[in-house]
Amino acid sequence: MGSVDFNLSSLRARRFKGYLQMQDPQTPSNYLRLKERQTMNISLSFGRDSHYDDQGQKVLDPAGYTHQFSVGLKTSADLFDTGFTWVGFGGSNTAPTDQSSISYWIYKNQIYEPVELIFITTMETVASAGTSKYLHLKFTCDVNAFTPVTLAGATSDTSISGEILKIEAVKRSNSATTLSG
C-alpha cells in the first residue's frame, strides 16, 4: 500500500484572502460583498442515532443535521435601515424596507417571520495561478441571532448568526468570483 501526501501546505487557504457575500434579497442577481468581515465560522453537524442490531453490532442511523453559521463584522451605517419602530403587535409599527439590513432582519424575526439569506464564502489558497485555487461554500441560512453593536475597543462590532438550512456548493474552482470552473 502506497502513501500519498495530502493536506499540503502549498495548497492551504489564507484567512486574509477570503471574503463573504450574500445574495441581495431585493435583486437576486446581485451579491453584496461584506467588506469589513473580521471572523466567520461555519459548523456542520450531521446527527446519528445509534442502536444495536440482533447480532450486537452497533448501527448508526441518520438523524438530521444542525449546521450553524456566524460572522463578525465591523459596524457600519449601511448595515442599518433608516426606519424601524416596534410598539408591539397591533401597534403602529414601522417596517424597514432595506431587506439587506440588520434592521429588516430583526424586524422580521420580531414578528416571527424567518429571514433566509444565501451566502457564498470564498477563500484563496496559495496554489499556483491557473489552478483550482479558490474554495467556495454556498449555503442558505436562517439569520436569527444578532448583536447589532458591541463596544470593545476602538470600533464597534456586529455579530450575525443563524442556522444553515441548505448547503448548495462546497467546491474548489479556478475562478474567484463564480462557482463555475
Q: How confident is the model at residue 63, as a pLDDT?
A: 94
Q: How confident is the model at residue 46, as a pLDDT?
A: 93
Mean pLDDT in each 10-residue stretch from start to end of the chain (181 residues)?
A: 77 68 84 78 92 94 93 85 78 82 87 87 75 84 84 77 92 75 43
Q: How confident is the model at residue 163, as a pLDDT?
A: 95
What pairs with residue 67 in β-bridges?
164
Q: How confident is the model at residue 16, as a pLDDT?
A: 57
Query: Please, are residues 143 and 160 in contact by the beta-carbon 8 Å criterion?
Result: yes
Per-residue pLDDT of 116-153, as tens digits, reads: 888 888 888 877 666 788 888 889 999 999 887 766 66
Residue 167 — φ and ψ, nearest 5°?
Answer: -100, 120
Q: How confident is the model at residue 9, as a pLDDT?
A: 74
**What is the bridge-based pairing of β-strands 46-52 and 58-65?**
antiparallel
Q: How confident is the model at residue 152, as a pLDDT?
A: 65
Q: How confident is the model at residue 181, as a pLDDT?
A: 43
Query: Please, are residues 173 and 131 in contact by the beta-carbon 8 Å criterion?
Result: no
Rounded-to-integer distance, Cα 77 and Cα 95, Å: 18
Q: What is the pTM of this model?
A: 0.77
Provide long-range contacts, Cβ within 8 A and 24+ apart, for 5-11: 10/126, 10/127, 11/125, 11/126, 11/127, 11/133
Rounded-to-integer distance, Cα 81 and Cα 103, Å: 6
Q: How confident is the model at residue 29, as a pLDDT?
A: 85
